[in-house]
A and B are shown apart, each in its own frame.
Chain A
Amino acid sequence: MLALDKKLLIIGSLWPSFWMATALSGIIFSAIDPLIIASQMGFNHVSYLSAYSIGFFFFWLVCAWSGFFSIIFSRSVTKKNVSKK
């Protein structure tokens, strides 16, 4: 049972969030130039492709985090008790 949950957790949080991160990168980076953010954070020698990539991974992480907790909280406590029987 635990093994199954793990698989669902991993796929369920990483996969939809991958697409959300793609969409977010598109929207956010068309409005804001990522190099401006990078230079304000003190990084002056980042290439564009790296700035976009780092942004993408950041969005991915955030969305995956949220998905992860959605899955955790969607498991009802009672269900667990039932399966123990």
Chain B
Amino acid sequence: MSVKNNDSIESSLFEKRKKLYPREVHGLFANLRLLSVSILLGAYYLLPWINLSGRQIVLFDLPERKFYIFNWIFWPQDFIYLALLLICAAFALFLFTALAGRLWCGYACPQTVWTEVFLWIERKVEGTRSQQMKLDKQESSFTKFRIKATKHTIWIIFSLYTGFTFVGFFTPIRELAQGIMSFDLGPSEVFWLLFYSLATYGNAGWLREQVCMYMCPYARFQSAMLDKDSLVISYDALRGEPRGGRKKGDDLEAKQLGSCIDCSLCVQVCPTGIDIRNGLQYECIGCAACIDVCDDVMDKMDYPRGLVKYTTENKMEGRKTTILRPRIIIYVILLVSILSGIFYSIETRDSVALNILRDRNALYRENFEGTISNSYTIKVLNMDLIDHDYTLKVTGIEGLQSSIKEPIKVKAGQVLEMPLLLSAEPESLHHTSLTIKLTLQAVDDINVSTESEGRFIGPIDP
């Protein structure tokens, strides 16, 4: 999809927008979209309500600074996984774009998904495309007001529920629901609920294709990822032209007509309001609505389907299409290696961590009995799904005494912070500063252990 001309886009940024009334379509691709929308929205609205062993199956618990995703718990130090996952998402997007154009836009983008729902509501309330257009042209009247008010009320309720679900990924959703019932919500919760609701209402109800055209970064750079072998939606001009009206069964040769009957249905169904017959365009989000509707028309006329279809630039020019091109292979290799790396490292990551921090107030302390002691704070993070008892061994200085009472009990997913006092005989301190090694070992599982290093400071001249 080449960008036609920069100026025309830039200037259209400020043009007054004409309201679009995308016509309803049925067909293979519309069904695929319906399937994808149902799966995605189903997951979005249902997931927060599913509990697994007493906690929400997906919960981004900000207060506890822990993300629960199915069987995994992610801690702030696991942020790298999130970053890697985002990189994977980007590569997957590149891959799919190179293979089949704007698949993401047409079937999975939240913008498309929620707009589908809003359009569906609009059609249920206001009727078909022509009924909607007629309604908008009418003088204001009570009926018009009633219909519009109904539509907006349903939209707003749906948006509010969407916003509520969004916050429910961050605050346990059942508590949130109770909070709403009893008008007892924190200001931030209220804010984010309203913010997300407003964004849904505005983007899916009002802005629609404008989000794709003016606000979406992906739309701006996706054309760079397409090549002559990428699947794109295109009109077969060779077959379609010259377009024109006719009756079913007319002799095309005699009338000197192509297959396009110029019914303009492909334009009416287009959510971005373009005419696919003008060639590939930057605005086309690849929703395939025009394919569905045109195939219908072809069926009615008894012409072969596929006047508008998924094809590649090479195919249109009569050349061969290669699927396995270098860029595809590179994307796949990168994607597979990063993903397997992530899963391997998540599955094998330490399930316990130990942090040691020297107390800043004093370098060391001399005790009555002549020993030298250092004090620390240690933090034990049990990142496992079960509770553990641990032992702590400190090595590095001969005869070192530790104040820790074993076993150290830490519950699953908890952090235990406690003071640690280490004391040594002055004779065993050969240097002013010595490295000590702490080994934390779970009592019940030999594989659960971790190590950490710290420093022990003694007098300058021991």
Q: For window 1-41 of chain A, which residues contact chain B by CB distance below 8 Å?
A: 4, 7-8, 11, 15-16, 26-27, 29-31, 33
A49 to B167, CA, bound (A): 11
B65 within 8 A of A: yes
Contact residues in B for A66 (Cβ distance below 8 Å): none
A52 part of interface (Cβ distance < 8 Å): yes
A26 touches B191 (CB 8 A): no
Interface size on B, as a range, is 20 to 34
Tell yes or no: A70 within 8 A of B by CB.
no
Cβ proximity bits B173-192 to A, threshold 8 Å, 1 near / 0 not:
00000000000001111011
With A26-B82, A31-B79 in contact, is A53–B188 under 8 Å at CB? yes
Partner of A4, one of B14, B65, B192, B217: B14
Q: How far is the CB of A64 from chain B (nearest CB, A)?
A: 15
B188 touches A50 (CB 8 A): yes
Q: Is the CB of A49 within 8 A of B65?
A: no
Interface size range on A against B: 10 to 19
What is the CA–CA distance of A1 and B214 in the complex, to the nearest angstrom?
19
Q: How far is the CA of A11 from the CA of B142 in the complex (A)?
A: 36
| B42 at interface by CB-CB < 8 Å | no
Output the residue of B14, B62, B186 with the most chain A CB within 10 A.
Answer: B62
**Shortest CB–CB separation between residue B34 and chain A, in angstroms?**
29
Cα–Cα distance between A16 and B358 once the two chains are bound (Å): 42
Q: Give the docked Cα–Cα distance between A39 and B410 (Å).
A: 26
Residues of B within 8 A of A53 (CB): 188, 191-192
Cβ of B46 within 8 Å of any chain A Cβ, yes or no, is no
By DSSP majority rule, is chain B's interface helix, strand, loop, or mixed? Answer: helix
Contact of A50 among B13, B76, B171, B187 (CB under 8 A): B187
Whether a CB of chain B sits under 8 angstroms from the CB of A47 is: yes
On whether the beta carbons of A48 and B62 are closer than 8 Å, the reply is yes
Inter-chain contact A49/B63, CB cutoff 8 Å: yes
Within 76-90 of B, Cβ neighbours of A (below 8 Å) are at 76-77, 79, 82-83
For A30, give its contact among B79, B170, B171, B215 (CB under 8 Å). B79
Closest-CB distance, B128 to chain A (whole angstroms): 34
Given contacts A7-B14, A15-B215, A33-B65, whether A49 and B79 have CB atoms under 8 Å apart is no
Contact between chains at B215 and A49 (CB < 8 Å) = no
Contact A48 B191 (CB under 8 A): no
Residues of B within 8 A of A15 (CB): 215
A47 touches B188 (CB 8 A): yes
Q: Is the CB of A30 within 8 A of B63?
A: no
Which residues on B sit within 8 Å (CB–CB) of A11? 214-215
Of A27, A31, A49, which is within 8 A of B171 by CB? Answer: A49
The count of A-to-B residue pairs whose CB atoms sit within 8 angstroms is: 42
Q: How far is the CB of A7 from chain B (nearest CB, A)?
A: 7
Whether A27 contacts B188 in the complex (CB less than 8 A), given A7-B14, A33-B65, A49-B62, comes out as no
- CA–CA, A66 to B291, complex, Å? 44
Bound-state CA distance A30–B77 (Å) is 7
Known contacts A7-B14, A15-B215, A26-B82, A49 near B76 by CB under 8 Å:
no
Closest partner residue, chain A, to B11 (CB atom): A4
CB proximity of B95 to chain A, nearest CB, Å: 22
- Contact between A49 and B82, CB atoms less than 8 A apart: no
CB pair B186–A50 under 8 Å, yes or no, is yes
Q: How far is the CA of A8 from the CA of B77 in the complex (A)?
A: 39
Residues facing B in A36-76 (CB within 8 A) are: 47-50, 52-53
Minimum distance in angstroms from A74 CB to a CB of chain B: 13
Are A49 and B14 closer than 8 Å at their CB atoms? Answer: no
Q: How far is the CA of A33 from the CA of B62 in the complex (A)?
A: 10
Instruction: Give A80 Cβ to nearest chain B Cβ, in Å.
Output: 17
Residue on A nearest B195 in the bound complex, by CB: A53
**A70 → chain B closest CB, angstroms:** 16
Give A47 Cβ to nearest chain B Cβ, in Å.
Answer: 6
A31 x B191 contact (CB < 8 A): no
Residues of A with C-beta under 8 A to B217: 16
* 23 pairs of residues in contact across A and B, judged by CB atoms under 8 Å: A4-B14, A7-B14, A11-B214, A11-B215, A15-B215, A16-B217, A27-B79, A29-B76, A30-B76, A30-B77, A30-B79, A30-B82, A31-B79, A33-B76, A47-B63, A48-B63, A49-B62, A49-B171, A50-B186, A52-B62, A52-B188, A53-B188, A53-B192
A residues sitting closer than 8 Å to B (CB atoms) are: 4, 7-8, 11, 15-16, 26-27, 29-31, 33, 47-50, 52-53
Binding site for A on B (CB under 8 A): 13-14, 62-63, 65, 76-77, 79, 82-83, 170-171, 186-189, 191-192, 214-215, 217
Supply 17 further A-B pairs (C-beta < 8 A) apart from A27-B83, A47-B63: A7-B14, A8-B13, A11-B214, A11-B215, A16-B217, A27-B79, A30-B79, A33-B76, A48-B62, A48-B63, A49-B170, A49-B186, A50-B186, A50-B187, A50-B188, A52-B188, A53-B192
